[in-house]
Amino acid sequence: MAKTENAIWVVAQLENGETLGVTYELLGQARRLADTVGQNTAVVLIARENNGHAEKLIAQGADVVYTVLGEEYADYNVELYTNAICELAQEYKPNGIMFGATIDGRDLAPRVAARLKTGLCADCTEVEMGENGLLKWTRPALGGNLMGTIVCSDIRPQMGSVRPKIFAPMEPDSGRQGEVINYTVKNKVESKVEILKKEPLSTGGKLKIEDAEVICAGGRGFGDGERFKVLEDLAALFEKSAIAGSRAAVDEKWVDHASQVGQSGKTVAPKLYFACAVSGALQHVSGMKESEVIVAINKDENAPIFEVAHYGLVGDVHVVIPKLIEKIKAYKES
């Protein structure tokens, strides 16, 4: 039987019956951190049914999976989820709890922290292990102009929400052994809200940038929104592609905030990232530097973006991108 106290927990998040990738990303980092101090990892799975999720979580690093199952947990409900997590935490006493900084995670984490009377470091971009199991949470501060590292030295559990695409998941090991604890909430609460219908937010049928394998991102250097639209033509040449923007592009309303990359936006790690007319400020680079291949296009040969790019094209995006599109089309047709 795995040791259940003083473990590092990850709260699993599901969407359309599938475990979100951020759950495996956080579990991978929790596994790495726990191993440095001889702790265990655990995942809290709240859902209608297990449906094989627990076994997959064990294969990817969990020592223990706490399942809270029932029809009332079929859809995310902050009151029911908070109640279940807090009751589990009070009984099994984790060292730390990690949440994905998604829409639901950002809603749930502060409620749990307030109920448990502990601290919460929100929207982290790094989590490290200090001495004696002390977790060090790092996040952007002062509008992204500096990074702050925060610790909660006296109260447990230590808590934080972490952006998706920050950490790499562990490779699954189907032979790995773990324990599943089916937990029944003792002090149930009634939800004050009844969900009548769920509809996805309109994204115009576009792929979320965090799910894209190719991202075409633009910055202020495009000059205006009409010219920015050439990125759509570039993205259309690739499967599983999306367009994105720097904070400046979002401020100009050339792209919506859901497609912003950087410290005040999202962190992405696609196979291919086009940084077009993006200067390469730290705020933007921190959100895309883990991309497998970065191609930068900028007319300023001294732009900081070239320092992180694998390939750089010095030139005006309004000239270079149409030629690039033409070349890619010709290659695909050959």
Annotated binding residues for FAD, written as ranges, equal 220, 246-247, 260-264, 298
What is the spatial distance between Cα 44 and Cα 56, in angstroms, rounded to a whole number?
13
CA 221: distance to chain centroid?
A: 28
Nearest to 179 by CA among 34, 317, 11, 41: 41
What is the spatial distance between Cα 273 and Cα 175, in angstroms, rounded to a whole number?
36
Sheet containing strand 272-276, strands side by side: 241-245, 214-218, 272-276, 293-298, 311-314
What is the spatial distance between Cα 12 and Cα 27, in angstroms, rounded to a whole number?
9
How many residues are there in the chain?
334
List binding-site positions. 220, 246-247, 260-264, 298
46: tokens are 């709240």
Nearest to 277 by CA among 298, 307, 303: 298
Question: Beta strand 135-141 with 126-129: parallel, antiparallel or unpaired?
Answer: antiparallel
